[in-house]
Structure 1
């Protein structure tokens, strides 16, 4: 039987097997080690974000609830999507069977949509906090934000179920050999997805952040002209902290857009979006690396995150009343 006992085939015992990518052992080991480190770093950093916001009572705010939801999606990316995509790209073989061939792309697309939804909610949150603080303090609560987060995830599950309905029902319909898992989104569906999942959310985010930064600049100028006194300092100080948070989250959104824009390149060029495209792996990994970068941005710009991580890694969160620790 063709390919029997030959490691150049995904399934040597099958005549219809796909070919395995042959690489030197040293380079294969190096790349696998690098991918494992990226995946581990993504999981650990996002787990620290989740634990920090969950444990410390001072961090139980609407904005941080949105950051926690984003960290959950990034954690799942590092825990499941990165290892699976790494093996697929290195071996050029799908070894996980028909069921996971159907479910893995669905999970990946759901995480993509949920992340976009969380980013839009973060932009709206910052817009209200900076541009309409009275409405923000009276209408935006932790419980309402949690409801919106649940709706965001539910819409992501439903929407991507519709987009990938054909793949979920027939995951092997585009496979040309055994050991291949090809996902194809037609140009029409890809264009709809581009508009719904990317262009519209990104337009909302960019418009809101332009208005946020314009309001922040106006507040800074007004603060310089104001005569300082003990009574008058309280208001501006709160505004400066909100402005700083908005700038940090603006960086998160900017990095997010830079990582996700390439993923939609096929839809921009009028092609079908297919995992069999020669450059798809590069686009996919640029997008996946965003899940590692978000917590690094928090570490650079959020003092509360650094303080919380220090308390976690030194096990001081196990002490009584550690939930009440001052991290802000």
Structure 2
């Protein structure tokens, strides 16, 4: 067997087309030829080796002529010049300091080797998307736990700032970050304050329920870390309106008789947050945390949540609810 071709290329395919992505150049190509699609599917998706020589030969051509227009004969590349990109998600690291019980990303690594984005990689990504899209509205910083590579977050923000100052882009995108809230260096606070980040913190409820689900590698609960860092952000001058919370709802909540309304009230009282993002856990059906057997209880909780939402509107002239309900009303 020859060299590992996964190192430099990724390939995905649906019923209509395939897409080949070259990691180093960030080029991607739509694959129309049925034979090439068959070869790539066999190697990249089915992990078979019967067409290895064919795949290797094609990818050698791509590697050798990556900047040559003759590649269009193999993979006509669709141009996105002038298009608008609503949101660009940048995973700055796949390292994480937590081991949440329901993690869908294998501890943040997504099953890959742990790696932090480098300065040149960040700039290359930004250059690519700025070149191919007329407008990028939102940049979402993601992980892993993105704060573990906060230096690159600063690089990304300042690079966009430089592009704007030199009139390469028309205006700055809105920056956002999804974080577990457990690690917050002062430098990271400065970055988020300067660039007016929208900050989403993962928090599953009060200390008892949260610490049973979202723990550090050592097994230690993380609620107190989050509460401390939230206070640090507020005291630094970050407005509370810029901070939101995302709660993953599990069977553990139901087992502890925690309804959606209970969560609405908790986030309002503890963090002065009126609108919370509540998402059902995404996990195997036979997992203890799965909501698969709780559908009737959830229906009841949803009904009560809607009633409570309208009660607060009518009686208090505020909306204390979750995002999915407020989007409907």
Does 1 or 2 have the higher relative contact order (CA < 8 Å, sep 6+)?
A: 1
TM-score normalised by structure 2 residue count: 0.20
TM-score normalised by structure 1 residue count: 0.20
